[in-house]
Amino acid sequence: MSPALPFSSPDSEARVTLRASAGDTIAALATPVGRSALAVLRISGPDSRRLAAEVFRRPADQIPERRPVYAAYHDLAGNSLDQLVWTYLPGPGSATGEDTLELSCHGNPLIAQLILADLFSRGCRPAEPGEFTRRAFLAGRLDLTQAEAVMDLIHARSERALAVAQRQLRGGLGQRVENLVARLLLALARIEVYVDFPEEDLPPEDRDLVRAALQEVLRGTNRLRATERSGGFLRDGVKTVLLGSPNAGKSSLLNALVGRSRALVGPEPGTTRDYLEELVRIGPHLVRLFDTAGVNPAPGEVERLGMAKTLECLTEADLVLWVVDASRPSLELDPVYADQLRPGKVLVVFNKGDLAAGFIAPPDLPHPTLVVSALTGLGLGELGERMEQAIERLAPTEEGDEEMAVNARQADALRRAGACLGLVLDGLAAMPPAPIELVSSDLRGAVDALGEITGRVDQERMLDALFANFCIGK
Amino acid sequence: MSDSLSTVYEVIVCGAGHAGCEAALAAARTGARTLLLTGNLDTVAQMSCNPAIGGQAKGQIVREIDALGGEMAINTDLTAIQFRLLNESKGPAVQSPRAQCDKKAYQFRMKHTLELQPSLRLFQATVTGLLFESDGAGGRRVVGVRTNLDLDFRARTVVVTTGTFLRGLMHIGQNKNEGGRLGDFSAKTLSASFLEAGIELQRLKTGTPPRLAGRSIDFSRMEPQRGDANPTLFAFHDTRDAGALFHVEHGSPAGEPLREARLGWEPGRDQVPCWMTYTTERTARLVRENLHLSAMYSGEIEGVGPRYCPSIEDKFVRFADKPRHLLFLEPEGRSTNEFYINGLSTSLPFSVQVEMVRSIPGLEKAELLRPAYAVEYDFAPPTQLYPSLESKKVENLFFAGQINGTSGYEEAAGQGLMAGINAARKTRGEAPLILGRHEAYIGVLIDDLVTKGTREPYRMFTSRAEHRLLFNHGSAELRLRGHAREGCLVSASRLARIEAKADRIEHWTSQLERLRPAAGETGVGEGTWADLLRRRASKGEAQGSGATEIGPHGFLELPEVDRAEVRYRIVYAGYLAREQRQVAKLLEVERVNIPLDFDFAAVRGLRAESRTKLMETRPVSVGQAGRISGVSPADLSVLLVALEARRRGRIEDQTDR
Ligand SMILES: Nc1nc2c(ncn2[C@@H]2O[C@H](COP(=O)(O)OP(=O)(O)OP(=O)(O)O)[C@@H](O)[C@H]2O)c(=O)[nH]1
Ligand SMILES: [Mg+2]
């Protein structure tokens, strides 16, 4: 990519106006959403081979055909999301007549959603109700007598999807998106009026006003997107920090939760010098665990560096597991750290319970407590449950009802809207300013993306906003 | 051509306004035997409102008309008295040419063109009704027209372009006059003919400001607005046949001396300024105090007026905080002293109009030559049309122009051109020419009209086009050359020049992306010429002609219009490529046609709401179906399956036989 190409827009954010074409690659969950043992994801379209190559890290010309393969799925950030079984079927011999890719991952809905979201980021789009079957029919894979069944199926699916969507839109979500659309249209009107009415006696163009308004909309878009099932947790995992004195058993606890020996464990205090992170599943949630250097009241030089990083982790934590050695319980903590321990986000974990029979946690702590043993596995099941509960209490913070949480398709639309808005804001801030018709083109991309959530936004509505706010007409 | 009344024309065009002239010329130019009927031959191609052509989006439409063999562009170029390129400081996609015209010269030249057009007959008579016959399947088709002279004319197709004349009613305060335009008649019986055929009619309203005597205006109190020194023209003169401009292009066999010279002058010569002034507090007070006398505000008018062209009453009421409103005085021609006062449209009584005009700086002593008035008229909601502009209710009957609910000469002319082309094609049994939304403003215009309809007089804005970045005015000929070729809409020699131009532009666009300036040749940066152009653009450096132009030798030799197009494609490459990808995606459904006899009621799995909408609109492609509000992507899926099932059913039927 050459650096100075101001008017070249990124490819992946193309505006999708009609969603019935066969040229693009679609993805969807093929099994019903729920906690079944396996979730099957289906991908169909010309990009299937490329996607297989990317996520399973194989050369595109070495994708096994028609045979199940067991491998780790890597998301765009390089994380391994799951170990799963996948099968690649080249067209026209597949069900849809196109190249297809089928993934059977663990039944955890979170994992399936994570994978879907990653596929969307890689250029797939969510399939319409019944679209796989439609493609199969149009590709001649189903015969004429099945056509009516296909139509009934599409109908039934879309009715159901519609019902779900309407229930959601009746809740706060519809209003929130509608509100964002209205503000976008007003901003667009403020731009378009100078394009379409250059001869009018208009107030001077105020790009700062537009920019401020759009920054607001972008924030709103991001906030909404973050409600996607426990919000940003979905993409990044719940950031959970293991904190405690040296030798308390933090690294041991991480290994126990991860289920393998990930962190170095040692009998000497100060084993962990730098933090390390690992993704684990706790119930339906994805958790990003951070093992940190122990907090020592009298640290040496190297320890001091490690502890600075511990503090950094702590300030960004969604959840803190304060690990205390139950055989030598001391709850003293430097105020720099203690100040970060706000109630609601802390669990006090008394470790080495095996060495402290009859230990009872002090009752006056402002945080919930429990006793475990990383060594024997004592209390680890309960720890998982307590973490799950804590995460669910954390999850949707804002006006936090279920209705508000967006689904993967809506989150994808919000993501594209956000990307378009990013381009618009860059364009408005550029020096010299980007050509206004290009800014407008990206802004329309954002409107169209949001329109996929609430229903197509007619251009006429922008004109309504324009004529309501500007006196046009010589 | 025989003068016998028994002649069956291929195309009859009713009305010789901007739509009718283009319709008649387009039909006749493809060889159809055509009759153009007008109630008054002296008002052919009259500009009923302001004497100007072009402007935002409209200027692009005029260039598209030229690319498709129409007349409006060249007629404007040769009779204009001022040219200005709007949005010159913005990107090429949103720049539009605009011209002030000599109103009478424009009409004379157009009339002369019509008179000389082979295969076209011009006749003065008012159409009072349509002649129908049964199509044998419960519907009817049009077979001719009846006129006020009790003469009937028969035709295989009829194009109706009657503008605001259908039950036209003009209002000046409480005063009412019947007519489609001040001084003209109203077509009353034709509406009955439409209703009889089941064509629904509704009312719209528009208005026009007073006209003033120039000698009574004090121009020293106003700011002049002058034309561009280097005018941007509407017609593509670079590909036009040489020598065809100032003379009689059609009708004089080669070698014969020219007996007539068509009116017109070298484009851009002796340009005439417009003048700017403003309303005052006194104007505002006069309007407010007399609001109850305004036809619009006293409830006299039922039709809906356009929001983008509000009356002065509307402006002072709806934008009460705006202290003053800009007005333009536009000359109506070189050989007249009459001025049009743009921005002062009103339906206030004449006495108030006089006071109002005289409250404006420079107009203290102004004499009004004609009053402002509002006009209400019937229009036929255009959702009753196919994208070919043929009626869904009456076969062989086409509609174009203001009768379809549009406003503006350019919008009318664009529709007239398409209706004329398609009426002629219908008589030859050819499929209609339908421009896509991705190809031209005319395509957007007609698709909007027939798919969504309109509640106010419809005017084109660039923002209505999803793909306006592809619609820079200079590319009209390149964009539409496939249709021009396929429909034989321009001469073979012009087509060859258009193709050559397209080749040059494509060649140099890819060359500049490939070639690198020799070291030291430009002094700045690395990369190809294209990179260099983009870098310069991002720094906001001037592009284009003269000393600022850069590029390899051969490129600099190209005509400026070619270079401008190459530069546009290079500097905007990223965005243009994105548009092209979106278009390619859209075309997949746009190209799936829905047969006219397709039975939406029999499609299983459509939602009830969508079914109703589809049956009402009867889209001709899955793409059009998708633009109907309330039709969901799932409905399109069902439709696609049903269409495929039907197609396969047909094949099975055939193999069974
Ligand atoms: N008996 C018993 N020993 C444990 C338990 N958890 C950890 N240990 C031991 O305690 C010692 C320290 O464990 P680590 O996991 O390295 O402790 P840490 O908190 O990470 O220590 P630093 O990295 O130095 O801060 C090791 O020898 C472990 O084997 C437990 O539950 N029971
Ligand atoms: Mg450790």
Give the residue from B371, B400, B430 where a domain finishes: B371
Instruction: Kindly identify which residue of chain B lies nearest to residue A188, measuring between CA atoms.
Output: B463
Name the residue with the closest Cα to ligand 1, atom 12: A247
CB atoms within 10 A of CB A152: 14
Interface test with B, best of A5, A169, A420, A454 (most B CBs within 10 A): A5
Query: Quick one: tokens of A387?
Result: 């973490």
Ligand 1 atom, smallest distance to A255 CA: 15
Distance of CA B197 to the CA centre of its chain: 27
Task: Classify B133 as helix, strand or coil.
Answer: strand
Distance CA A223, CA B304 (A): 42
Query: Quick one: tokens of A461?
Result: 């509505």
pLDDT the model gives residue B232 = 96
Ligand 1 binding site (Cβ under 6 Å of any ligand atom)? A 244, 246-252, 265-267, 269-272, 293-294, 351-352, 354-355, 373-375
Residue A99 pLDDT exceeds 60: yes
Residues of B in contact with A440 (CB under 8 A): 463
Pairing of strands A319-325, A238-244: parallel
User: What would the pLDDT profile of B615-654 be if each residue is shown by its tens digit?
Assistant: 988 999 999 999 998 888 788 888 888 888 888 877 666 6
Are residues B406 and B440 located together in one domain of the fold?
yes
Side-chain-side CA neighbours of A11 within 13 Å: the count stands at 6
Are residues B392 and B500 located together in one domain of the fold?
no
| Residue B417: inside a domain | yes
pLDDT the model gives residue A80 = 86
Reported as a pLDDT band with limits 50, 70 and 90, residue A164 is: low
Instruction: Kindly identify which residue of chain B lies nearest to residue A445, measuring between CA atoms.
Output: B466
Are residues B563 and B605 located together in one domain of the fold?
no
Are residues B564 and B514 located together in one domain of the fold?
yes
Residue A13 pLDDT exceeds 70: no
pLDDT the model gives residue A214 = 95
Cβ of residue B605 closer than 8 Å to a chain A Cβ: yes
Are residues B256 and B360 located together in one domain of the fold?
no
| Residue B587: inside a domain | no
Pairing of strands B34-38, B8-14: parallel
Distance CA A371, CA A367 (A): 13
Distance CA A121, CA A357 (A): 51
Residue A43 pLDDT exceeds 90: yes
Distance CA B413, CA B402 (A): 10
Contact yes or no for B332/B103 (Cβ under 8 A):
yes
Residue B437 pLDDT exceeds 90: yes
Domain span at residue B567 reads 491-577
Are residues B367 and B422 located together in one domain of the fold?
no
Cβ of residue B588 closer than 8 Å to a chain A Cβ: yes
pLDDT the model gives residue A3 = 30
Which of A9, A438, A459 shows the shortest C-beta gap to B464? Answer: A459
Highest mean pLDDT among A77-86, B254-263, B441-450, B523-532: B441-450
Interface test with A, best of B585, B613, B622, B648 (most A CBs within 10 A): B585
Residue A319 pLDDT exceeds 90: yes
Side-chain-side CA neighbours of A374 within 13 Å: the count stands at 26
Alpha helices, H only, A57-146: 109-121, 131-138
| Residue B521: inside a domain | yes
Residue A17 pLDDT exceeds 50: no
Contact yes or no for B352/B181 (Cβ under 8 A):
no
Interchain proximity A20–B640, CB inside 8 Å: yes
Task: Classify A188 as helix, strand or coil.
Answer: helix
Name the residue with the closest Cα to ligand 1, atom 26: A267
* CATH number of the domain where residue B478 is located: 3.50.50.60
pLDDT the model gives residue A160 = 66
Tell me the backbone φ, ψ of residue B139, rounded to 5 degrees. Answer: -105, -175
In Å, how far is B309's CA from the nearest CA of chain A? 4
CB atoms within 10 A of CB B112: 19
Name the residue with the closest Cα to ligand 1, atom 1: A352
Could you say which residues from 229 to 288 on chain B have a Cβ atom under 8 Å away from some Cβ of chain A?
A: none
Are residues B46 and B107 located together in one domain of the fold?
yes
Give the residue from B542, B577, B612 where a domain finishes: B577
Name the residue with the closest Cα to ligand 1, atom 24: A270
| Residue B42: inside a domain | yes
Reported as a pLDDT band with limits 50, 70 and 90, residue A11 is: very low
Interchain proximity A195–B310, CB inside 8 Å: no
| DSSP string for residues in B1-43 | ----TT-EEEEEEE--SHHHHHHHHHHHHTT--EEEEES-GGG
Nearest ligand, CA of residue A374? 1
Residue type, A396: P
Give the residue from B439, B466, B485 where a domain finishes: B485
Reported as a pLDDT band with limits 50, 70 and 90, residue B93 is: very high
The H or E element spanning position A84 is strand A80-89
CB atoms within 10 A of CB B4: 6
Strand partners for A100:
A44, A89
Ligand 1 atom, smallest distance to A355 CA: 1
* CATH number of the domain where residue B308 is located: 2.40.30.260
Residues of B in contact with A473 (CB under 8 A): 306-310, 314-315, 343, 345
| Residue B3: inside a domain | no
Q: How many domains does chain B have?
A: 4
Task: Classify B219 as helix, strand or coil.
Answer: helix
User: What would the pLDDT profile of B232-241 be if each residue is shown by its tens digit?
Assistant: 999 999 998 8
Are residues B452 and B330 located together in one domain of the fold?
no
Are residues B21 and B115 located together in one domain of the fold?
yes
Distance CA B68, CA B652 (A): 41
Best residue for ligand 1 mutational test, from A242, A245, A247 (most atoms within 8 Å of Cβ)? A247
Reported as a pLDDT band with limits 50, 70 and 90, residue A33 is: low
Q: How many interface pairs between A and B have CB atoms less than 8 angstroms apart?
A: 208
Reported as a pLDDT band with limits 50, 70 and 90, residue A21 is: very low
Ligand 1 atom, smallest distance to A270 CA: 24
Nearest ligand, CA of residue A323? 1
b/e B156-168 (16+ beta carbons within 10 angstroms → b):
bbbbbbbbbbbbb
Are residues B390 and B444 located together in one domain of the fold?
yes
| Residue B613: inside a domain | yes
Domains, chain A, ordered by start: 5-138 (3.30.1360.120), 159-227+404-470 (1.20.120.430), 236-394 (3.40.50.300)
Nearest ligand, CA of residue A375? 1
Q: A78 CA distance to ligand 2 centroid (A)?
A: 25
Are residues B331 and B308 located together in one domain of the fold?
yes
Q: What does the DSSP 8-state code read for residue A146?
A: G
pLDDT the model gives residue A28 = 87
pLDDT the model gives residue B245 = 55
Q: What is the pTM of this model?
A: 0.79
Contact yes or no for A55/A74 (Cβ under 8 A):
yes
pLDDT the model gives residue A463 = 87
Cβ of residue B343 closer than 8 Å to a chain A Cβ: yes
pLDDT the model gives residue A7 = 34
Residue A401 pLDDT exceeds 50: no
Q: A262 CA distance to ligand 1 centroid (A)?
A: 14
Q: How far, in Å, are A105, A347, A361, B540 from residue A366 at the CA level?
A: 40, 10, 12, 61
| Residue B157: inside a domain | yes
Task: Classify B373 as helix, strand or coil.
Answer: strand
Cβ-count burial of B416 within 10 angstroms (0-12 exposed, 13-18 middle, 19+ buried)?
buried
Q: How far, in Å, are A92, A176, A221, A349, A421 from residue A447 at the CA level?
A: 36, 14, 11, 48, 9
Nearest ligand, CA of residue A353? 1
Reported as a pLDDT band with limits 50, 70 and 90, residue B249 is: very low
Name the residue with the closest Cα to ligand 1, atom 2: A352
Residue B198 pLDDT exceeds 60: yes
Residue B492 pLDDT exceeds 50: yes
Are residues B65 and B179 located together in one domain of the fold?
yes
Interchain proximity B468–A437, CB inside 8 Å: yes
Q: What is the mean pLDDT of chain B?
A: 91
Interchain proximity B326–A200, CB inside 8 Å: yes
| Residue B584: inside a domain | no
Distance of CA A140 to the CA centre of its chain: 37
Residue type, B495: L
* CATH number of the domain where residue B520 is located: 1.10.10.1800
Residue appearing with tokens 């009353």: B188
User: What would the pLDDT profile of B23-80 be if each residue is shown by its tens digit?
Assistant: 999 999 999 999 999 999 999 999 999 999 999 999 999 999 999 999 999 999 999 9
In Å, how far is A88's CA from the nearest CA of chain B? 25
